[in-house]
Chains A and B, each alone.
Chain A
Amino acid sequence: MTRNGRRIPDPDARLWQSLEPEPGTVERVVLGALAARRPRRAPHAGWVAAALALVLAVGALALWQQGPGAGGPAPNQPRISIANVGDVVVVRRPGQGARLLRSVPPVEPREARPGRIQIILRKGESP
């Protein structure tokens, strides 16, 4: 047996002939390959799941860091300010304006009293 003008060794020829496909099969494969449009490869499901899990984890972390008091005053904003101006004690709360708490009559000589004391409580702190 010869192929392309060259003599084929006997075992090769035997193998080649044994595996010879039927013409109908060849035609089917050719037409199928020429007609088929290969679908675009979708992103791997594993990667999509991993990306989704990462986004969810970042979101959960952000919520957790805001804490249960989310929506209240920011941590560094004073929650309450108590100050005295002379004999008058003034309490200020953000968004609620100033409030006169009480006025104390002088009991000591004026020189012994401090001119002004201010106490500011921030979120999470105690006096």
Chain B
Amino acid sequence: MEMEATVRELAPRLLRFCLGRVGAEDLAEEASQEALSALVDRWRRHGPPDSPEAFAFAVARRRAGRVAFRRRLTAPLGMLRNGHDADPGPSPEVRAVSRDRLHRTLAAIRRLSGSERDALLLVVAGELSTAETARVLGISRSAVKMRVQRARAHLVRMLEEGRS
């Protein structure tokens, strides 16, 4: 298994997962980069981990959680500095390519419970198998399946509500 190929294959999956997890592209990029750097560092020092996917996603999940927490913590400061809501909202670039769908999806994801959101994002956005997801989350495969099903049902309902 080649390191660079693995990194290239994992990068878009990690970015999707982190974007769903933190809700902002710059923060998702930061968390993904840190996770991949950790994987590369580990690979160079001690060889490839048993499951590079599980390793990278476990790191990304921790980093994304920390980044999201930091964002919540500094949001009031941003409001004071900017005089308006610190939520970055759609940038001109994002508006130009009409990312309305992204924002609606992110809003729906944010309303899921933490355990459901992580399971759904790891399986759908991160493209991890049920077994790998169970490994990352430290729960059984059946629990993963149950959480993903519940999250999917909630997401569909929320997106339908948003459309109507």
Contact = CB atoms under 8 A, between A and B. Distances in A.
Nearest to B26: A25
Q: Interface on chain B toward A: helix, strand, loop, or mixed SS?
A: helix
Contact of B11 (A9, A20, A29, A36): A29
Q: What's the interface size class on A, roughly?
A: 20 to 34
A32 interface: yes
Interface residues of B, number: 36
Interface stretch (B62-70, B72-80, B151-159): B151-159
Interface string B1-42: 000100110011011110110000100110011001111110
Contact of B33 (A12, A14, A29): A29
**Chain A binding surface, main DSSP class:** helix
Contacts of A21: 12, 15-16, 19, 25, 28
A44 interface: no
B155 A11 contact: yes
Given A9-B152, A16-B16, A30 B7 contact: yes
A17 B99 CA distance: 11
A14 B159 contact: yes
Contacts of A25: 15, 25, 29
A19 B102 contact: yes
A11 B156 contact: yes
A15 B124 contact: yes
B124 A16 contact: yes
**9 nearest A-B pairs in the assembled complex, by CB-CB distance:** A33-B36, A18-B105, A21-B15, A19-B16, A38-B41, A12-B124, A36-B37, A18-B102, A33-B37
Given A9-B152, A33-B36, 8 more contacts: A15-B20, A15-B120, A15-B125, A18-B106, A25-B29, A26-B11, A26-B15, A29-B32
